[in-house]
């Protein structure tokens, strides 16, 4: 099996690549290295193409690799950026996905695994959120993650490739950037390790479903051979408040944490929890990392270094295809 991973030098992507290679999967990576530290997250055993979803280098990766499966993780991931620059957000997440799908169809890719988001649901009508919940995104980012789901399903119907769409809960873990709204664990840990006080917007009783990136990587591996034609939530089906998160972080760091509370931001969802029964049923997926263990792993990583501990070789010896994008 040959698998190409877009965004394979990113936070989630680097863990997915690591998981694939650990299972003996022949893996290649397409990434534009726009994320700080991305070059340091490239895996030594994966062919690397320095390319963008909207650039010419993407085709070269398909010509050289002829992948049977594509795991699509490359994206514009910041909600605030999507609000400031909805055109850019749509270019990367929607148009970029369409270009990828065109190449998948042209080169006979058997399957695409797509990283979607709980953001497609918007404010939940009920908990836990299952895959039948209405889609009512509250941001341009949510829209730009939802639209590719429809394109993927239509490409599948027309060209015969199959797919599995994974809707992630709040992913955290080693290598996550401390910038951006999605990285609340990374933001808290980063501030604490620098002797600063974490900031909580609202009373801290808002809840999220936190899932360790190691579990997300495992779900992606399972989706290569399972869940054809399915949309699947990837979460723990557990709610943790921001106040509880701060407490667990204090336990993992061995010192007390007292956040500073500020006015609640408009548009923030109060509670979120993803039902994961379908993931268990169609993928055989069950989260293995509880939150305290995952936080300890994450804090240990930030304490040691901001770079990966995976084996790497110099970038100039790694690039199979390099193009301006």
Residues annotated as catalytic (active site), given as ranges = 141
Strand pairing category for 230-234 and 199-201: unpaired
Pairwise CA distance, residues 181 & 175, whole Å: 15
Compute how many other C-beta atoms are within 10 angstroms of the C-beta atom of residue 162: 16
What are the structure tokens assigned to 13, written together?
């992507």
Compute how many other C-beta atoms are within 10 angstroms of the C-beta atom of residue 106: 11
On whether the CB atoms of residues 11 and 214 are closer than 8 A, the answer is no
On whether the CB atoms of residues 264 and 196 are closer than 8 A, the answer is no
Pairwise CA distance, residues 201 & 203, whole Å: 7
Pairwise CA distance, residues 290 & 292, whole Å: 6
- Geometric angle at alpha carbon 185, from 29 and 196, rounded to 5°: 120
Interior/surface letters 123-158, b for 16+ CB within 10 angstroms, e for the rest? ebeebbbebebeeebebbbbbbbbbbbeebeebbee
């Amino acid at each position: 099996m040959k698998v190409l991973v877009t965004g394979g030098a990113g936070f989630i992507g680097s863990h997915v690549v690591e998981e694939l290679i650990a299972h003996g999967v022949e893996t290649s990576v397409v990434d534009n290295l726009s994320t700080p530290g991305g070059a340091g997250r490239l895996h030594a055993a994966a062919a690397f193409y320095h390319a963008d979803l909207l650039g010419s280098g993407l085709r070269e990766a398909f010509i050289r690799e002829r992948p049977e499966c594509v795991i699509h993780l490359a994206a514009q991931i910041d909600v605030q950026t999507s609000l400031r620059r909805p055109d850019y957000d749509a270019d990367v997440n929607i148009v970029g996905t369409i270009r990828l799908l065109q190449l998948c169809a042209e080169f006979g890719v058997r399957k695409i695994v797509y990283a979607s988001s709980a953001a497609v649901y918007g404010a939940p009508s009920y908990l836990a959120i299952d895959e039948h919940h209405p889609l009512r995104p509250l941001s341009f980012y949510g829209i730009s993650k939802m639209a590719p789901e429809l394109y993927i399903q239509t490409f599948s119907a027309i060209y015969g490739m199959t797919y599995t769409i994974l809707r992630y809960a709040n992913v955290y873990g080693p290598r996550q950037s401390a910038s951006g709204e999605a990285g609340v664990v990374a933001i808290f840990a980063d501030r604490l390790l620098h002797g600063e006080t974490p900031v909580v917007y609202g009373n801290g009783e808002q809840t999220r479903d936190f899932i360790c990136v190691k579990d997300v990587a495992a779900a992606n591996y399972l989706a290569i051979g399972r869940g054809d034609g399915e949309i699947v939530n990837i979460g723990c089906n557990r709610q943790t408040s921001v106040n509880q998160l701060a407490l667990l972080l204090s336990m993992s760091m061995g010192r007390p944490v007292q956040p500073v509370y500020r006015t609640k931001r408009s548009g923030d969802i109060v509670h979120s929890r993803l039902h994961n029964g379908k993931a268990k049923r169609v993928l055989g997926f069950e989260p293995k990392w509880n939150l305290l263990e995952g936080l300890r792993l994450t804090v240990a990583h930030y304490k040691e270094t901001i770079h990966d501990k995976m084996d790497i070789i110099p970038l100039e010896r790694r690039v199979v295809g390099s193009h301006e994008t």
